[in-house]
């Protein structure tokens, strides 16, 4: 049986306008993201990887083209719907982790639950589950300054999956990590994909990480080129 397509990009283009003229970053992007997929997007600096990830995640609007979520075209005029979709179905991991410095690990983790008005008891139960997956139970009461770079990134991942999103988007999640921490983060992504069936789309410069994904694409001259067996 064919797997469900959760997101589809058709003919996506993105142009930026600035005083020097027009910049056509994305020319024609077509992409189908299937349930449970693991996709890596590679490419040199400045080609538009973050731009594309933000468009997939509804954080940025394409200049033209269509995006379908669960078979339905995204209507940018319905802001409430876009916001709801983003909050309930999509998790983001940015290159900089954006943890709240005054909060402990567990407080940072449960934030999405609190915003979604979950009961504290349910938040703590979910946090415990996630801390186990991340192998961070011993760090629950640490504040971000008292964590290593890899541990901070893991908390950011934990927060992004707190509400069990269908789609997890990660922008260079191992960019600032040493090889050992990077490998641990890679394994956590695989575990999340296997345990919860979460679809993962990531931008990475890390070929080792890309190898562990099911499909790899190179973003080049505004187009996505599928890479066979890297």
Ligand X SMILES: Nc1ncnc2c1ncn2[C@@H]1O[C@H](COP(=O)(O)OP(=O)(O)OP(=O)(O)O)[C@@H](O)[C@H]1O
* Inter-residue contact 6 to 31 (CB < 8 Å): no
Closest CA to 193 of 37, 86, 88: 37
CB of 43 or CB of 150, closer to ligand X: 43
Q: By CB under 6 A, which span of 41-49, 96-104, 116-124, 151-159 interacts with ligand X?
A: 41-49
Using CB under 6 A, count the residues that bind ligand X: 12
User: Binding partner of residue 16 among ligand X, Mg ion, none, CB under 5 to 8 Å per kind?
Assistant: ligand X
Q: How far apart are CA 225 and CA 222, in angstroms?
A: 10
48-56, 124-132, 134-142, 222-230 -> range binding ligand X (CB under 6 A):
48-56
Closest separation in Å from C-beta 191 to ligand X: 26
Give ∠ CA 225-85-175 in degrees, rounded to 5: 45
Q: Is 206 in the site for Mg ion (CB under 5 A)?
A: no
Least separation in angstroms between CB 39 and ligand X: 16
Q: How far is the CB of 90 from ligand X (least distance, A)?
A: 18
Query: Is 23 an interacting residue with respect to ligand X (CB under 6 A)?
Result: yes
Q: Is 48 in the site for ligand X (CB under 6 A)?
A: yes
> Is residue 19 involved in binding ligand X (CB under 6 A)?
no
Distance CA(104)–CA(155), nearest Å, equals: 10
Nearest distance from residue 158's CB to ligand X, in Å? 23
The closest residue (CB) to Mg ion is 50
Contact segment (CB under 6 A) with ligand X among 16-24, 66-74, 75-83, 193-201 equals 16-24
Measure the CA–CA gap between 151 and 212, rounded to whole angstroms: 21
Least separation, in Å, of the C-beta of 219 and Mg ion? 10
User: Quick check: 50 binds Mg ion (CB under 5 A)?
Assistant: yes
**In the chain, where do the E strands start and end?**
5-18, 21-34, 38-42, 64-69, 72-73, 90-93, 167-171, 199-203, 215-220, 223-227
Question: CA-CA distance, 205 to 156, in Å (whole number)?
Answer: 19
Cα(5)–Cα(60) distance, integer angstroms? 21
Interacting stretch for Mg ion, rule CB under 5 A, among 26-34, 44-52, 97-105, 191-199?
A: 44-52
**CA distance linking residue 230 with residue 210, whole number of Å:** 8
Report the interface residues with Mg ion, using CB under 5 A. Answer: 50
């Amino acid at each position: 049986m064919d797997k469900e397509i959760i997101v589809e990009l058709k003919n996506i283009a993105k142009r930026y306008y600035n005083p020097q003229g027009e910049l056509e970053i994305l020319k024609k992007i077509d992409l189908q993201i299937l349930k449970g997929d693991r996709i890596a997007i590679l490419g040199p600096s400045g080609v538009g990887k973050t731009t594309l990830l933000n468009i997939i995640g509804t954080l940025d609007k394409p200049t033209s083209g269509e995006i379908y979520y669960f078979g339905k075209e995204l209507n940018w005029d319905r802001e409430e719907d876009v916001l709801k979709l983003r909050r309930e179905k999509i998790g983001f991991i940015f290159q900089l982790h954006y943890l709240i410095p005054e909060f402990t690990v567990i407080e940072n983790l449960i934030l999405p639950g609190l915003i979604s008005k979950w009961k504290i008891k349910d938040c703590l139960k979910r946090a415990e589950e996630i801390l186990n997956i991340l192998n961070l139970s011993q760090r629950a009461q640490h504040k971000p300054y008292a964590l290593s770079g890899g541990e901070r990134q893991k908390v950011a991942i934990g927060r992004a999956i707190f509400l069990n999103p269908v789609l997890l988007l990660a922008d260079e999640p191992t960019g600032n990590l040493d090889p050992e921490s990077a490998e641990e983060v890679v394994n956590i992504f695989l575990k999340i994909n296997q345990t919860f069936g979460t679809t993962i789309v990531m931008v990475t410069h890390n070929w080792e990480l890309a190898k562990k994904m099911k499909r790899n694409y190179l973003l080049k001259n505004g187009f996505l080129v599928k890479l066979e067996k890297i």
